[in-house]
A and B are shown apart, each in its own frame.
Chain A
Amino acid sequence: MSDVVPPEVRPKPAVPANHNAAGGSTLLGYIGIDTIIEQMRKKTMKTGFDFNIMVVGNSGLGKSTLVNTLFKSQVSRRSAGWARDEKIPKTVEVKAVSHVLEEGGVKMKLTVIDTPGFGDQINNDNCWEPISKYINEQYEKFLKEEVNITRKKRIPDTRVHCCLYFISPTGHSLRQLDVEFMKRLSHSVNIIPVIAKADTMTIEERQEFKQRVRKELEMGGIEFYPQKEFDEDMEDKNDNDKIREAMPFAVVGSDKEYQVNGKRVLGRKTQWGIVEVENPNHCEFAQLRDFLIRSHLQDLKEVTHNIHYESYRAKRLNENGGLHPISCNDTQESNL
Chain B
Amino acid sequence: KSVKKGFDFTLMVAGESGLGKSTLVNSLFLTDLYKDRKLLNAEERIMQTVEITKHTVDIEEKGVKLKLTIVDTPGFGDAVNNTECWKSVADYIDQQFEQYFRDESGLNRKNIQDNRVHCCLYFISPFGHGLRPLDVEFMKALHEKVNIVPVLAKADTLTPSEVKKKKMKIREEIEQYGIKIYQFPDCDSDEDEDFKQQDSELKESIPFAVIGSNTVVEAKGKRVRGRLYPWGIVEVENSAHCDFVKLRNMLVRTHMQDLKDVTRETHYENYRAQCIQSMTRMVVKERNRNKLTRESGTDFPIPAMPRMADNETEKLIREKDEELRRMQEMLQRIQDQMHTQKEAY
- Using a CB–CB cutoff of 8 Å, the interface residues on chain A facing chain B are 58-61, 84-85, 88, 120-125, 168-180, 196-197, 199-200, 202-203, 212, 215-216, 219-220, 268-276, 279, 281-282
Question: Would you call A60 and B128 a contact (CB within 8 A)?
Answer: yes
B151 CB-CB contact with A under 8 Å: no
Question: Would you call B39 and A199 a contact (CB within 8 A)?
Answer: no
B257 CB-CB contact with A under 8 Å: no
Question: Would you call B159 and A269 a contact (CB within 8 A)?
Answer: yes
Given contacts A200-B156, A216-B43, contact A270 B232 (CB under 8 A): yes
A175–B16 alpha-carbon span in the complex (Å)? 10
Residues in A neighbouring B129, C-beta threshold 8 A:
59-60, 84-85
Q: Number of A-B pairs whose CB atoms are under 8 Å? A: 116
| Closest Cβ–Cβ distance, residue A181 to chain B (whole Å) | 9
Residues of chain B from 18 to 51 with CB closer than 8 A to chain A in the complex: 18-19, 39-43, 45-46
Residues of chain B from 68 to 84 with CB closer than 8 A to chain A in the complex: 78-83
| Closest Cβ–Cβ distance, residue A219 to chain B (whole Å) | 6
B185 CB-CB contact with A under 8 Å: no
Residues in B neighbouring A274, C-beta threshold 8 A:
231
Least CB separation from B44: chain A residue: A173
Residues in A neighbouring B231, C-beta threshold 8 A:
199, 270, 272-276, 282
Category for how many chain B residues contact A: 35 or more
A66–B17 alpha-carbon span in the complex (Å)? 25
B134 CB-CB contact with A under 8 Å: yes
Residues in A neighbouring B240, C-beta threshold 8 A:
271
Question: Would you call B160 and A176 a contact (CB within 8 A)?
Answer: no
Least CB separation from A198: chain B residue: B157
Residues of chain B from 248 to 303 with CB closer than 8 A to chain A in the complex: none
Residues in B neighbouring A172, C-beta threshold 8 A:
17-18, 39
| Closest Cβ–Cβ distance, residue A5 to chain B (whole Å) | 37
7 closest A-B pairs by beta carbon, nearest first, are A170-B18, A273-B232, A272-B232, A273-B231, A60-B128, A60-B127, A174-B42
| Closest Cβ–Cβ distance, residue A68 to chain B (whole Å) | 17
Least CB separation from B135: chain A residue: A122
Given contacts A270-B159, A274-B231, A282-B231, contact A170 B19 (CB under 8 A): yes
Question: Would you call A176 and B83 a contact (CB within 8 A)?
Answer: no
| Closest Cβ–Cβ distance, residue B100 to chain A (whole Å) | 31
B234 CB-CB contact with A under 8 Å: yes
Of B53-61, B222-230, B337-345, which binds chain A?
B222-230
15 of the cross-chain contacts (CB-CB < 8 Å) are A120-B132, A122-B81, A170-B19, A173-B41, A180-B80, A199-B156, A199-B231, A202-B228, A203-B230, A219-B41, A219-B43, A220-B42, A270-B160, A272-B229, A276-B231
Question: Would you call A175 and B232 a contact (CB within 8 A)?
Answer: no
Question: Would you call B133 and A179 a contact (CB within 8 A)?
Answer: no
Residues in B neighbouring A220, C-beta threshold 8 A:
42-43
Instruction: Pick the most buried of B43, B127, B128, B133: most chain A CB atoms within 10 A of its CB.
Output: B127
Q: A179 touches which one: B18, B42, B230, B232 (CB < 8 A)?
A: B42
| Closest Cβ–Cβ distance, residue B301 to chain A (whole Å) | 43
Instruction: Pick the most buried of B78, B79, B230, B240: most chain A CB atoms within 10 A of its CB.
Output: B230
Instruction: Pick the most buried of A120, A172, A203, A276: most chain B CB atoms within 10 A of its CB.
Output: A172
Question: Would you call A281 and B230 a contact (CB within 8 A)?
Answer: yes
Besides A125-B80, A170-B17, 9 other CB < 8 A contacts? A85-B169, A176-B45, A196-B127, A199-B231, A203-B229, A220-B43, A271-B240, A272-B234, A275-B231
